[in-house]
Structures are given as structure tokens and as C-alpha cells.
Amino acid sequence: MNSQYVPLGQLQDVITLSTVNQTSRRKHARGAPIQKLPAEMLGNIFAFCQTEWNCVSVESLMAVSSTWMGVCLGMPSLWTKISLHMTHWDIPNLSQMRSNYVYHHIVRSGVLPLQVKVNLFSRPGQETSAREHVRNAQAVLDFLFNGGPTNKGARYWDVLEFSFDSTTPRRLLDFLGTSMPRLRELVIDGPNDSRIPILQVPTLCSLSRGGVPEPAGHNPAMVQTLHLSTTALSREDVDRLSAYTSLKTLSIVVEKGDGRLSKLHLPNLVSLEITIKYPSSSSGSSQSSTEEPVSLRFLVLPHLHTLKAKGDNPSLIALATLQNLSQVRRLELKEWEFLAQSSRRTKWGFLAYTMVQTPAMAWNPSESVVEFLLLKCTSLEEVHGFPDLIKLVKSIIHQRPDLTSRLRVSASGRIERG
């Protein structure tokens, strides 16, 4: 009788043959390896990967193979991002390495504008003295802002992100006074009491500042995007905001409620995001009684399309008193009740509503709230935030025959009008 088991030697031959067959199939696979892609297609892939700051650097792409190196060297657009982090400069030799890094990006980017990101943060326990560290950093920043022998300095920049802390020496901040006539986007972050030089940025279209004073060398009428982080808004701050007559996107982060927000007058604003960060308090009830609610009642924003409002204490955001925002179609709030209250007061027709899910909102909305939402928001297309909302809507539609012809739930789980 023949054994049902295969001899060990024959089994090894079968495994070897199977491995060879799989290797052969992979070699002749129809999908071409990335190394065989045309240089133009590889360049497009690399360019797509370079859209964000935290992407793979062009130096890392060049180190993969000679083919990739040739593609990177032939695409000036891959060399337009310069990112310097001064926290790692505790070795003097890195100063020359960083200067070489800046030089290669300036030269290989050709005539294209540059996007520059600089972080100036000190680190305790540095091996070199503070004076030597500052001198090394100053030499590299001088090369960066003035362009060195290429003469392609800040005059050719398109984007600048500049971050620093309270220990950053003044001589390093003086570079911000360099004229940047082509700069479109500026992100500057530092302590609230910082004293920075006047930035000469006449063509600025996007400004984001955290704590630092407002740059005086720009034209507010040209700015279309503004991100502001501050402890509180003074009357002068509100007056300056009203000078941004072309502003389309505004994001404000304040550390306490401020009724002065209601004084804003931005006729062209399309998107508004307000975040209230209240100071920590041992008693939440006392905080509610002492802080001033944020009221948006008297805002004059005739073209506002998107409104987002978040806060550590949502009860202080008086969104139920909105009256002048009849054009809003997308709303993102932190509490479900705000939607019903706002709809009742303004009779808005929302296109979409997005709620930020929090542990305190694990409960499901009642049928009366959902029914009110469906009837009042006649233009509703999307509702996000509640996992069981679609099931509840189906139940309401089934119980209300008069809604069957007006509402339905699609196969993808989207609430649609009939």
C-alpha cells in the first residue's frame, strides 16, 4: 500500500518549484515597477508628495536611486521648499551643512518663488556656548534672507512661516525687517509680548499670527485669509479687523469670551471660525456667571456661507441670537441644541451640519428634535456626528406618511429630499 505522505526530498522539490514559479510570475507581471515609469510621471508623483511641509524631502527621494536623482535634479519645483529647525544646531559643523542646504535649494529652484519655514527654539544642554550658537544661526539666516552669492533672497519668497519663543535673541528676529515684495502668505508665531521689526510685505494675501503684534508693513485691503490667536480682542483690534475689507476667510482663537466680536463688519467674508479657550477654573458654574458671553447677534456679514464655532464652555457662545446671517449654508457647532435654537430664530436652510463628537454628547437626539430639524432646514443635504441618526430618521419617516414624499434615506445613508 502506497503511503499518503510525500517523501521529504520530493516535498522540498515542490516548494522550490512553487517559489520559482511565483518569482517568475512577479517578474513578468503587467504592473510596471515604479523604476520603469516615465520620468515625467515620476516627477508628478514627487511633486504631489511635496505639497505639505511634513512630506518626504527631496534629498530623501534623491537617495533612492540614480533614476530618482535625475528626476529630482531636473524638476526645479521640488526645490522650492526650505525648512530650517534651529533646535538641532548644537554642533558648529551643522551651520555649514545648513548653509549648503539653503544654497542648493536656492540654485536648483531656478526662477521659481521659494516657500520658507524657520523655527527658532532654544534647547537646554547645548554643547556649544549660547554666543557661538547664536552666531552660527545668524550666519545661516543671513545667507537665507539675502541669498548669498546667488542674490536670490527674501525678495523672491512666496510663503514664510516663522516661529520663535521668548528666549530667541533679538538679532535673529531682526531679519524679519527684510523687504519681501512678493510674499503672499505669512505665518508668524511667538509670545504675546514680542517686539518684532516691521515686515515689508505689500502683496500679502494670507496672514496667520499667534500672539505677536500685527505686522505694519502690509496692506489690509489685499488680505483674503486671516488666522488670529490672541488672549482678548481690544477695541483697537476690532477696528483693525474691520479694515480687512477683502477678507474672505477668518479664523479667530481667543482665550476668553469677548462681546466685541459682535462689532465686526466684514462685507466680503465667506467663512468664519471662532474658537473660545476659557482659562481653567476649579468651578465651572462660577466661570459661567463671570465670563462675558460671545454674542454674534449684530455681525454684519452678508455673504457668510460657512460658520464654525467651538468653545470649552459652549453655553457662553450665544449663537441663538443670530439675525443677520441669512446666507449661511454650512454650519459646524459643538452642541446639538444650538442648531435647533438657531434654526428657530433665523429659519435658516442649511445645506450641511457637522457636529464635533464629544464624550458629553453620547446620547441620541430625541425624535422631536430630529423632526424639527428635518422640517425647518428645508435645504438639508448632510448631517454628520450621530451614528444612529439615519436609523432614527427612517423611523420618523415611517411614522409620518406626510414626510414620505418629501424625505428619503439613500442607500449610502444620506438624507435626501424627495
- Statement: residue 137 has pLDDT above 70: yes
30 confidence band (pLDDT: 50, 70, 90): low
Q: What is the pLDDT of residues 290-309, one digit of tens each?
A: 455 555 555 677 787 777 77
Mean pLDDT to the nearest integer, 274-288: 55
User: What are the CA-CA distances from residue 29 to residues 22, 26, 41, 243, 344 (Å)?
Assistant: 10, 5, 20, 62, 62
Enter the pTM of the model. Answer: 0.67
- Residues with Cβ within 8 Å of 259's Cβ and at least 6 positions away in sequence, in order, are 292, 293, 294, 295
Residue 85 is inside which H or E element, if any?
A: strand 81-85
Give me the pLDDT at residue 29, please. Answer: 56
Give me the pLDDT at residue 349, please. Answer: 38
C-alpha cell at 209: 499670527
- Statement: residue 187 has pLDDT above 60: yes
DSSP string spanning 39-70?
HHHHHHHHHHHTSSTTS--HHHHHTT-HHHHH
Exposure string of 64-81, with b = 16+ CB inside 10 Å and e = fewer, is: eeeebeebbeebeebbbb
- Statement: residue 362 has pLDDT above 60: no
Give me the pLDDT at residue 386, please. Answer: 45
60 confidence band (pLDDT: 50, 70, 90): confident
Mean pLDDT to the nearest integer, 377-381: 46
Length of the chain in residues, anyone? 418
Q: What is the pLDDT of residues 72-114, one digit of tens each?
A: 899 999 999 998 887 655 566 777 888 888 999 999 998 899 9
Which range has the top average pLDDT, 99-103, 217-221, 348-352? 99-103
Give me the pLDDT at residue 159, please. Answer: 92
Mean pLDDT to the nearest integer, 198-215: 78
**159: three-class secondary structure by DSSP:** strand
Give me the pLDDT at residue 369, please. Answer: 53
C-alpha cell at 370: 430630529
Give me the pLDDT at residue 199, please. Answer: 78
Give me the pLDDT at residue 231, please. Answer: 67
The residue type of 130 is A
Angle at 190 between CA 187 and CA 194, to 5 degrees: 120
Q: What is the pLDDT of residues 147-159, one digit of tens each?
A: 888 888 888 899 9
Q: If you count DSSP H runs as helices and E runs as strands, how many of each does the chain have, helices first?
A: 13, 16
If one compares 163 and 327, the residue with the highest pLDDT of the two is: 163
Give me the pLDDT at residue 121, please. Answer: 77
